[in-house]
Amino acid sequence: MIGRFDSPRENRKAAEPTSATVFVVEDDASMRRSLANLFQQVGLDVVTFGSAHEMLQNNIPDVVSCLVLDIRLPGQSGLEFQAELAKSNIHIPIIFITGHGDIPMSVRAMKGGAVDFLTKPFREQELLDAVVAATERDRKRREAEQTVANLRSLFDTLSPREQAVLKLVATGLMNKQIAAELGLAEITVKIYRGHVMKKMRARSLADLIRMVEKLGLHANRGQQT
């Protein structure tokens, strides 16, 4: 099946409070089945594919997950697939498995952000540990991404002027300076600033500054023609 079975069933656990999905891309059907079996036994959701292409056809659900990927695949290699996913801004953590890998392959995979690179035969627990680490990484990434996305959607409710005021507020300018910068009356800036605080749900300036930092906004100051 997968490799040597030197870890008793009882030792297996992937004690995750939230469920996670493991995608498996592996051309060997029997290997696919045993991997699916292993993951299902510890309560993980599993979706298997026979090739990279096949996985890209189906749209990947937006859940906490990781990808167990064979290096040798029909068509596109595992490493190429990794590069393609990165280019497509798909940040699913990858665990490579291989029967006939070499060091340059593993180094390239790890440089590309892979969580682990296992050579057959491997202990089941090794793979499960890697999967736990990978899904945990994905969970954290999603959490951070969600935070920024929420802030972004608040920011998007601001009118262009309000956004401009926010950026200048974040640079530490006083209302009168912002007014001069934007060619407005100070009172107008004050009002927009009030809108910004409400819409962004910031309870203090300190709050607002931290939001701007997380959003990575940078004021593009300058002369407005």
Partner DNA sequence: GCGCATTACAAACGTTCGTATAGTTCTTTT
Partner DNA sequence: AAAAGAACTATACGAACGTTTGTAATGCGC
Binding site for a second copy (CB under 8 A): 101-104, 106-107, 110-111, 116-117, 119, 169-173, 203-207, 209-210, 213
Q: How far apart are CA 199 and CA 213, in angstroms?
A: 17
User: CA 84, CA 132: separation in Å to the nearest integer?
Assistant: 24
**Residues 106, 115: Cα–Cα separation, whole Å:** 11
Nearer residue to DNA within complex by CB, 36 or 164 = 164
Q: By CB under 7 A, tell whether 154 contacts DNA.
A: no
The least CB distance from residue 214 to DNA, in Å, is 19
Does 209 engage in binding with DNA (CB under 7 A)?
no
Q: How far is the CB of 190 from DNA (least distance, A)?
A: 3
Q: Is position 171 an interface residue for DNA (rule: CB under 7 A)?
A: no
**Residue 161 interacts with DNA (CB under 7 A): yes or no:** yes
Cα 178 to Cα 180: distance, rounded to the nearest angstrom:
5
- Give the sign of the dihedral formed by CA 32, CA 96, CA 131, CA 86: negative
Task: Select 33 or 108, whichever has its Cβ closest to a second copy.
Answer: 108
CA distances from 68 to 50, 108, 137, 168, 194 (A): 12, 16, 14, 46, 50
- Any contact of residue 135 with DNA (CB under 7 A)? no
Q: Which residues are near DNA by CB under 7 A? A: 159-162, 174-176, 182-185, 187-188, 190-191, 193-194, 197, 205
